[in-house]
């Protein structure tokens, strides 16, 4: 069995816009429902959701039959964690809080087998290599890794071009909430100063030749980011969808519950 090409990575190179959804419920069953919805990519979040390596594995197994790219976000750009995620089958990673070219270079090295990097090799134990049955995995895996780094601080914005220049970084993803806090506007990513910084950052990323991405749950803002040149945009989350739908359903009935006639009966 040959190693499949990473079509998501190729699409970013070709600047084909790809629409994604955040998975924060930390449950493979709900993730599979989202996999069949028609999104191009789904973020399996292990930074702000209660996922561990084993539950991420469950997500990857649940999503595997569907034409959607799992994008695994580790809690930190740690080489050991990255090795584990890659071995269980992740091939597209979204690494948070990258602030310098040196940090980006270290993350790239963690995703590559030697001599290009430092990823440990244990093909017989790795689901990614189909337990040493995938032909050419050891020599081809590096080329199919897609690495996305998150720009979420003022320092990261200042270092944007230097980060983008690192070979092996495929895309730069703006994190609006953390960036807003870093700029002095915690809880207010919609502040004009934050939005201006984001718009400028998107333009700078596009000019480097790397793919730009963002999370924009508002449809108007998402379309603006696509127009600015973003190649991959997450337009919501499973938690947000469930929360809004359940509140809306409850409100619908709470506002229309008929008042029962009063009587002396207890039943």
**Catalytic residue annotation:** 48
- For residue 22, give the H/E element and its range: strand 18-23
* Under 8 Å between Cβ of 71 and 50: no
Paired with 33 in beta bridges are none
- Helices in 36-169 by DSSP H: which ranges? 53-63, 79-87, 101-111, 137-144, 154-158, 160-164
Report the sign of the C-alpha dihedral through residues 181, 199, 148, 33, in that order. positive
Rounded Cα–Cα distance for residues 81 and 37 (Å): 29
Distance CA 221, CA 116 (A): 38
Contact 90, 127 (CB under 8 A): no
**CA–CA distance, 207 with 225 (Å, rounded to integer):** 15
Please spell the DSSP secondary structure of 205-251, one letter per residue. HHHHTSEEEEE--SHHHHHHHHHHT-SEEEEEEHHHHHHHHHHHHHH
């Amino acid at each position: 069995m040959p190693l499949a090409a990473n079509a998501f990575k190729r699409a970013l190179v070709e600047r084909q816009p790809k629409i994604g959804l955040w998975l924060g419920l930390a449950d493979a069953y709900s993730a599979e429902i989202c996999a069949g919805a028609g999104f191009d990519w789904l973020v399996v979040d292990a930074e702000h959701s209660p996922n561990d390596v084993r539950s991420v594995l469950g997500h990857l197994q649940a999503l595997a039959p569907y034409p959607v790219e799992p994008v695994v976000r580790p809690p930190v750009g740690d080489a050991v964690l990255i090795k584990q995620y890659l071995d269980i089958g992740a091939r597209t990673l979204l690494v948070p809080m990258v602030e310098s070219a040196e940090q980006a270079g270290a993350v790239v090295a963690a995703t590559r087998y030697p001599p290009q990097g430092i990823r440990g090799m244990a093909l017989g134990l790795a689901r990614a290599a189909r337990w040493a049955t995938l032909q050419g995995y050891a020599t081809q895996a590096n080329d199919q890794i897609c690495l996305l780094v998150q720009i979420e601080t003022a320092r990261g914005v200042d270092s944007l071009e230097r980060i983008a220049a690192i070979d092996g970084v495929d895309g730069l993803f703006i994190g609006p909430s953390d960036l807003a806090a870093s700029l002095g506007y915690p809880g207010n990513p919609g502040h004009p100063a934050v939005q201006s910084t984001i718009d400028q950052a998107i333009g700078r990323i596009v000019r480097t030749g790397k793919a730009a991405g963002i999370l924009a749950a508002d449809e108007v803002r998402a379309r603006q980011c696509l127009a600015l040149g973003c190649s991959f945009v997450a337009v919501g989350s499973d938690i947000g969808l469930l929360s809004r739908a359940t509140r809306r359903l409850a409100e619908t009935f709470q506002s229309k519950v008929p008042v029962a006639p009063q009587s002396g009966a207890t039943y």
